Amino acid sequence: MFRLSDPPVDPRGPRFAAWVTTAVLVAVLVSGSALLLGAQAVVFALGAFAGLRFSPYGVLYRAAVAPRLGPPTEREDASPVRFAQGVGFAFAVVGTAGYALGAPVIGIVATAMALGAAILNAAFGICLGCEVYLRLPARWRPQPSTVKARNNPQRGATA
Amino acid sequence: MTGVWVALVTIAVAVLIGLLWQARQGRIRNRATALPPPVRAWLAEAGPHDGPTLVMLSTPVCARCPQARAVLRELAGDTPSIRRLELDLDTHPALADELGVRSTPTTLAVSRSGHELFRVAGVPRRAELREALAPHL
């Protein structure tokens, strides 16, 4: 599902995207709008399945925010971020269906869960993939090719 | 109106979880237990070492592993008696269960006799880690 080869990303980009996502999901809860949550689902899908460089919030970050911040001091692997986008996509799809098909409780619960994850990411930098990876069944685990290649010499890595 | 309340409660719960999580990150948790045999076997493959070994447990999806790796690399670089190894739990899934590790990065400090001294979840705090290792050098 997540065979990835994105280049490393400026870690401030995903944090910025998480803040935008937080604002959008709060607006969804307040308005109960299936359309707005559906749009957020598309945003998640672009980041998770097409690649982070296609994520609209990432594009906004690179165009409007990054030039004011200067170059990043470190870069982080893109795969945890894409994995989180995929999880967000799943919740957004369920929530959109709930709101659109007259089951607002499902819409509210799914949106609240996605909101919780977005806040943890935005405010604390918590990486969902790091916390859940080992608890997932093997076939659901994202397997990023870039990280695999980089981590291959596991042994004797003394400095 | 329900949605507004749900949003407020969700924000409050998420912030609380985040603060609790942050307080645990990088903290040294003393263990002083024998390592499970499969982990000892994995360590034995790396050969004997006269000093403590830091084993960083990683997964392919691990945003903080590079930061943790940098802290450990610096520490092992400064102190030659500290050995640094890395174990990808994705290629050794059984070891994660044996060790009871549920998130990455987690760093195990192992004595020269193969006992776990302590472990650190998240990015280790440099000074605290150095201090905790000092009696074992």
ipTM: 0.80
Q: Would you say residue A152 has pLDDT above 80?
A: no
CB-based contact A134:B102 (threshold 8 Å): yes
Whether residue B83 lies inside any domain: the answer is yes
pLDDT of residue A30: 97
**Inter-chain touch A120–B14, beta carbons under 8 Å:** yes
pLDDT along chain B (137 residues), means of 10: 94 96 90 89 90 93 88 93 93 89 93 92 94 92
| A79 three-state secondary structure | helix
Whether residue B17 lies inside any domain: the answer is no
pLDDT of residue A45: 97
Q: What is the dihedral of CA B74, B78, B80, B82, to 10 degrees?
A: -50
CB-based contact A37:A96 (threshold 8 Å): yes
Whether residue B52 lies inside any domain: the answer is yes
Per-residue model confidence as pLDDT tens digits over A47-81: 999 998 899 999 999 999 999 998 888 888 888 88
Per-residue model confidence as pLDDT tens digits over B95-121: 988 999 988 999 999 998 889 999 999
CATH number at residue B37: 3.40.30.10
**Inter-chain touch B74–A135, beta carbons under 8 Å:** no
> For chain A, what is the mean pLDDT?
85
Measured between CA atoms, the residue of chain B closest to residue A131 is B103
Cα dist. B120→A70, A128, A152, B30, B125 in Å?
Answer: 33, 18, 23, 9, 9
Parallel, antiparallel, or unpaired for β B53-58 and B83-88?
Answer: parallel
Mutate which of B1, B53, B61, B81 to test chain A, going by most A C-beta atoms within 10 A?
B61
CB-based contact A132:B99 (threshold 8 Å): no
Measured CA to CA, the distance from residue A119 to residue B108 in angstroms comes to 30
Domain hosting residue B48, numbered range: 28-136
Whether residue B9 lies inside any domain: the answer is no
Measured CA to CA, the distance from residue B125 to residue A31 in angstroms comes to 43
Q: Would you say residue A104 has pLDDT above 70?
A: yes
Whether residue B43 lies inside any domain: the answer is yes
- For residues A99-112, average pLDDT: 97
**Inter-chain touch A116–B13, beta carbons under 8 Å:** yes
CB-based contact B60:A142 (threshold 8 Å): yes
Whether residue B32 lies inside any domain: the answer is yes
- For residues A25-54, average pLDDT: 96
Measured between CA atoms, the residue of chain A closest to residue B99 is A134
Whether residue B71 lies inside any domain: the answer is yes
Whether residue B3 lies inside any domain: the answer is no
Domain count, chain B: 1
Q: Would you say residue A158 has pLDDT above 60?
A: no
**Inter-chain touch A131–B103, beta carbons under 8 Å:** yes
Q: What is the token pair recorded at A132?
A: 């859940």
Measured CA to CA, the distance from residue B19 to residue B105 in angstroms comes to 18
